[in-house]
Amino acid sequence: MEPCTLLDYVLALLDHAGVAQGVLTHKESGAVFLTHPATTQHESNVYRPLLCAVLQGAKEVGTSTRTLTVQAGQSLIVSNALPVVSSITEATPELPYVALVFPLDLDLLRTLAASLPQSSTHRATDPFSICLAETDDDMKSALLRYFQQCKTEDTRHMLAPITAREIHARLLIGQHGGTLQKLVWHENTASRIFAATHEIRSDLANPLVVGELAGRVGMSSSAFFEQFKAVTGTSPLQYQKDLRLLHARNELQTTGSKISEIAYGVGYESPAQFSREYARKFGRSPRQDRVSETVQ
């Protein structure tokens, strides 16, 4: 008998894959499922545009200026690539934390936004790139149908794209659709900040001159700084630094490159400065981080 709720379905997928703790990347759907049987310490990561639905337990997600608590039955909608700090705040072996991450297709959002009737447009009052919303029954139903349709090749190619389109449409016309609508419209503040973050991410080693970047996206330096912090929760220079350190940490954990090479590769002129800032952010030096990963 098929599981009848989204939570049941995700738990069944995790159980079938033998994942009792950690991450399951679901190749068929492109989604990611997460579970953990206990609360966790703060962890740094980069969130891409996505829908993260917490199905059981709770989690805190935030930047240096904003923190949101996501309970079971709620979702985060992330409209920009953001370096964040998160921790699981509610989880037990009997009722583990369970969540799903559904990546957003910005091109599809743009296509759908162009067809929105004027009466369906929302004015976003908060420019921050992370929104908290209730995961209503219609969205849960659409997500469940999408994952079920991804099971077989025929339905994955014929039906799943239709349901993915429905999920994106529901986000656009939902409670916090205004944030996504602003992102996909051209020549507005949200789209300009998005272009700026994309440029920073595309070449982390490139020195950042805030005034020059502001000019390239068509904004004054003062307006750019203010709006960048409102959208991302951090300053442009801190945004770049966080991304550099997160990228470096991934390199440390997945390659055998020398620490000095990794430091230079993300734009640091001094390995000593890199090590100091790395330890300040992650609580241990690059060398200690690499050793702990090897031990695990």
The domain that contains 273 carries what CATH number? 1.10.10.60
Q: Where residue 182 falls among pLDDT bands split at 50, 70, 90?
A: confident
| Domain boundary pick from 120, 154, 184 | 184
Identify the domain containing residue 140 by its residue range.
Answer: 6-184
Q: Where residue 177 falls among pLDDT bands split at 50, 70, 90?
A: confident
Supply the pTM of this predicted model.
0.85
- DSSP 8-state secondary structure symbol assigned to residue 96: -
The domain that contains 41 carries what CATH number? 2.60.120.10
Residues 56 and 97 in one domain: yes
| Domain boundary pick from 149, 184, 219 | 184
pLDDT at 65: 80
Residues 242 and 122 in one domain: no
pLDDT at 295: 43
Query: Edge to edge, what strands does the sheet with 67-71 contain?
Result: 43-47, 82-90, 58-62, 67-71
The domain that contains 203 carries what CATH number? 1.10.10
Which pLDDT tens digit goes with each residue over 91-110? 999 999 999 999 999 889 98
Question: Is 209 inside any structural domain?
Answer: yes
Residues 250 and 112 in one domain: no
pLDDT at 293: 55
pLDDT at 178: 75
| Domain boundary pick from 184, 217, 246 | 184
User: Residue 159 burial (CB < 10 Å; 0-12/13-18/19+)?
Assistant: middle
Share of the chain above pLDDT 90, in %: 70
Residues 158 and 58 in one domain: yes
Residues 30 and 146 in one domain: yes
Residues 165 and 221 in one domain: no
Number of domains in the chain: 3
DSSP 136-158: -HHHHHHHHHHHHHTSSHHHHHH
Q: Which of 9-13, 147-151, 161-165, 286-290 has the lowest mean pLDDT?
A: 286-290
Structural tokens at position 152: 């077989």
Q: Which of 119-133, 217-231, 234-248 has the lowest mean pLDDT?
A: 119-133
Residues 22 and 166 in one domain: yes
Residues 153 and 273 in one domain: no
Residues 49 and 143 in one domain: yes
Residues 73 and 132 in one domain: yes
Looking up tokens 């695990």 gives: 296
Residues 77 and 160 in one domain: yes
Question: Is 1 inside any structural domain?
Answer: no
The beta strand positions in the chain, using DSSP E, are 22-26, 31-36, 43-47, 50-56, 58-62, 67-71, 74-78, 82-90, 97-103, 130-134
Residues 202 and 179 in one domain: no
